[in-house]
Every structure is written in structure tokens, then in C-alpha cells.
Structure 1
Amino acid sequence: MSTQPTTAPSSAGPPTRDELAHARRLLGTFQRDYSTKVVGQQNLTRALLVTLLSRGHILLESVPGLAKTLAASTMASAVQASFSRIQCTPDLLPSDIIGTQIYDAQHARFVTSLGPVHANFVLLDEINRSSAKTQSAMLEAMQERQTTIGGETHPLPEPFLVLATQNPIEEEGTYVLPQAQMDRFLLKEIVDYPTPAEEFEVLNRIESGALERRRIDATLTTDDVAFLQGLASRIYVDAAIKRYIVSLVNATRNPAAVIGPERAAYLEFGASPRGAIALLQVAKALAVLNDRDHVVPDDVKALRHAVLRHRLVLTFEAVADRVRPELLIDSLFDAVPAP
């Protein structure tokens, strides 16, 4: 580990070469340790790092068994941070997540018992199986980064990252997340099946016993994460890039003028201002991952699907014709000229 300062300077200027070099060492250490437990899933790894550097939250969608829980627990282990897993069920109550007050008969007073959301990394497994009231309690904690129990406010730890999962192939006993709540997630990442080579490596590691040990030795601290987050916030973004982001988001709201009326008919509502903010935050985090002190147009484009797929509301015709939001996103990005 480097002995360089672990908190980003207060300077408003872009990161220095030494700070970027220190960030590169920290990220290299994390990825080395992370890859000892998680095989492949490069897109998932990048999405998790971008979410962490942007101080956001991520929604993961996939069929069961694709290492979502393993990825979350491994990230927490590598960062020397607390981790909790919440299995969402229809009978899960808000107090089961944020905590409650318990009466202490011995001392004749109420004692606050904090819930599992009070951890650095929180995995909400199958969030769409919990009721709307419980979903709201969790998403409020995500937005405010604090909980209120018995009139007392309890700040959540830093860093604080929620990884929510949902299974797209099961609908019985589920509650669809409202669009306003989906918008709270910085990214929605679709986790795909591993390649044959990656799956072969998984079998080799299981046979050798390499995956039996659930945790790894932490080499990063929460102060290191704070340094990386501070660095990402100071990445330089030119006004032309900001105008490009605004043009892209506005194109989702007025698609007919950009991609034509035929494809625009598939899009009912475009992205909110949170979409523009997310594109900016993600681009700055990607600049850090790519060892740059400024954002380029490719940083805005790289995770466009993950940023916008859950922010676009498609029409019934789009669902009937099986039109994916990624197709519309690509059309919009192709039509809006980059600086």
C-alpha cells in the first residue's frame, strides 16, 4: 500500500499526476484481490467500481447463480468494509431493514437496534419481492443516507453502496419497482451468463478449493475509497461535454425530432434530470478508471445502457414488439453528434 494521503485535497482543480498514479495503484490492488474470487464478469466489475466512485447505487438484473452475491461480498472484503445481505420477502417490514426500538425491561427504557442497512455494502436480494412500503423505506435510506428510528436520526456509514437484485424470469409474488424509485439507482446492469472459458475456470477453482474461502484479506480501507471518490469529483469536464450530455437527455424527451416518428413511437417518457447527472458522474468515474484527469465523449457513451435503460419508459407497442430500450438508446446516441 502506498503511503500517500488517503483523502483528496480540497483543491477544486483537476487531479495531479501523482494523485492519478496513487489511484491507479489502489484500483489495481482492488482488481487483483477481487479477481481471486470472481471469475470474468468484467462489465459487472466495471459497473460496481463506477458506482462506488460515484457514491451511487446499482440495480442488478439476472437469473439466479451469476455471482451477484459473491461480487458484492468480495468487494466489501477487498475494501475492508462491512457487508450485509437482506433477502427480500413479501412479509419483510421496514423495521427489518432500517432497525427499531426494543424495550429494555431491566433499565425501563427503549434501546435502538440498528438494522442491516447500516453497513457499507448492502445487498438487497430480489428487491421486487418486498412490499411497496418496504421498498420505499430502503430507497429513502439510499437517497437521504440516513435512517430515522424513534425520532432519532442515524447517519449511514461511508462509503454506502446498495446493490439491489431482481430476477426477470419470475413474476409471481413480486412487486414492480415504481419508475420514481428505479430512477434512484445510478446504474441498472444486466448480468449475463459467463463465457465457456470463464465457466471452465470456475469449475477448476471449485475443484482446487480456491473458492472455498469466502473472504479475502482486505488491502483497501474506507479512507482509500474516500480518496478515490474525491478524485472522481474533481475530474475536469469541458462545457462541450456537458452540452453533449444535455443534448442526449433532451433527445430522450423529444425523440421524434432525433430518431424519427417510427422509433419515437416506442418511447413514452424520457430520462429525468437524474439521467443527465448520472451520465456526468459515470463519465467522471470512468475517467479515473482510465487514468485521465478529464472526461472524453467515449466516457459518456461507455455505460449508456446501464445509465438509461431503467430511466426510459417504453410504450405498450414497444413491449408488444419486443423492442429493447438498448436499441432506442443506441439510436439516440448515434443521432446526437459528439463534440
Structure 2
Amino acid sequence: MAELSILELGRVREGFTRTDALNEARRLAQHAESWGYKRFWVAEHHNMPTVTTAATSLVISHIAAGTKTLRVGAGGIMLPNHAPYVIAEQFGTLEALYPGRIDLGLGRAPGTDQLTLRALRVHPEESERFPQDVVELQMWLGPVKEGQRIEAVPGSNSNVPLWILGSSLFGAHLAAELSLPYGFASHFAPQALDEALAVYRSRFKPNEKMAKPYALIGANIIAADTDEEARYLATSQQMSFANLVRGERKLTQPPIDDIDTYWSPMEKARAAAMLEVAIIGSRDTVKRGIDKLLARTNADEIMVVSDMYDPEKRLHSFEIIAEVMGAKNLSHA
């Protein structure tokens, strides 16, 4: 059975604060640890009022400090926004604080709009250097070589595990070439999922650190005690995607009875395309959906997005998912 993990954006709910969102993320991670989830990643996004994980390394530390065994990391750091040397220092520090628990997933998208890129002092063409920047980052995180005059401290000799993340064939080719694990963003850009996995696996170059490919996929999974309740809870996420299509900047909204009263047919179609890899329902429905997705992709790991408004319902969703996936160390086992 595939491993099970969580992707967290620290979403701010209507009527609540950013502090609430960050503390709810930490609380979720603590429960996830007891339910057998393998890793808990947060993603770098900028200028998004509903997302609180822009200072990604700080949020990772907040989560890791509240857990003991869960792997915590970036899903991902948008490397073109940063000097690889600085990221090596940040994640080397995290590794020093939480040894053996830190992951570093890397993306080449900016994680924001072009106007915000200017505020970040980043030129759009920086993404063209992504492969070279990944290799440079590996160097800073690796052993210090004789005569090396610049060292990332902390960072050097930490060997923080790197992942290549993406939603196109570019990342699949790069992960295969560099012999790194690969995460595909099928939770919001699923169109190239099957082709990207095929490219990654067929072109993967084994080495002494990684003998075979390892593929992680994102999936939107919302579970509840009944199919009807799950569909109701899922409307919060569906409204968020409709707002994204509209270019509206709203916080996470409470669920509604009929989502078709909220979005237009065009918005529904565009949101549905982004939410193609979505499983919504009761335990049995979720189990069937996960089995079908794994049969299709043969993924080594599923990284779950389960966005909803009520934090208690959200915790229950993640617990149900752990149950149907047979995760170890369940709190009631």
C-alpha cells in the first residue's frame, strides 16, 4: 500500500485569524503523527490572503516543534525566488534542529503573480536556471570539498533530502536525470499526470543513493461519515477554486447546500478540470476512489489535500483517510 502524507497551506477561514490558521496546521500535524501519516509538507505561495505558508521555513519549524517523528518539509520551496545558498542555510538549520525529519521539495514556478514577483525582486527568467540551481543547492547541502572557501553553515554535510515537484513533463525529466524523488501536483494541475509519471519512471537514472524511482502524487480527498455530508463539506474547496477562476481573493468560506448556486457553468468546468483528482465521500467511497487512483498511477505515496471550513470535520476527514489506507499507529488501535 502507498504511503500517506499531507499537504498544508495554512488556509485562513472566514471569521478567523492567520494565527488560528497556523495553529490549526500544527494541531493537524500532531494528529497526523498519531494516525500514521509519513510526512507533512507546507507550500510557498505569496500574496494570497487565505494562505499563511509564505515564510515556508518558519512554518516548517512551527510544525516540527510540535511533533516528534513526523517528517516535515516544503512542498515546495519555489527555488527561483531564492538564492540556493540561502535555502541551504535555512534547511540546514531546520535539519540541525529536527535531525532526520526535514524534506525539501523544489518547484520552479514562482508561486505567485508577476506583480508580486517584482516585490520579491525576482526576474521571471530566473526559472530558466532551475536545473542549475538544484545542482548548486545539492552542493551546498553536501560535504565540504578541499579548498572550498564558501560553506553553508548550517547546511553543509546535512544532506537534506531533495525532491523535484511539478505539474508538467519538465520536472519529470529533471527528477529522472538527477535521480531524485518526484512529486506531481495533481491536486490542482492533473492534466499531465499519467504522462509525467511514465516519463519519470522510464528515464530514471539509478545511483548509489536512489536505486529506483519514487513517485508522489497530490490528491484532493474529503471524507465524512456519509457521501452526502462529504459533498456538502467539499463545497468550501469548490468555492475556493471558483474564486481562483474569478480572480477573487476570499478567505475559506463555510460550506453551502448547493454549489451550483455559487458558480457559473464556465467556472464549474474550469474548477472541475483542476479538481479532476478528487475523491469525496464516505469511508467506502473514499476507499474505492483511492484504490482506483493507485491502480491508475501505481504511486508510491499519496499527499492528501483535504480543505474544508470546519477544523474538527477536517481532522475527522484525515482520520477516516488514514483508516481506509491502513495507516499504522492509529490512536484508537
Give the structure-1-normalised TM-score: 0.28
Larger Rg: 1
Calculate the TM-score normalised by the size of structure 2: 0.28
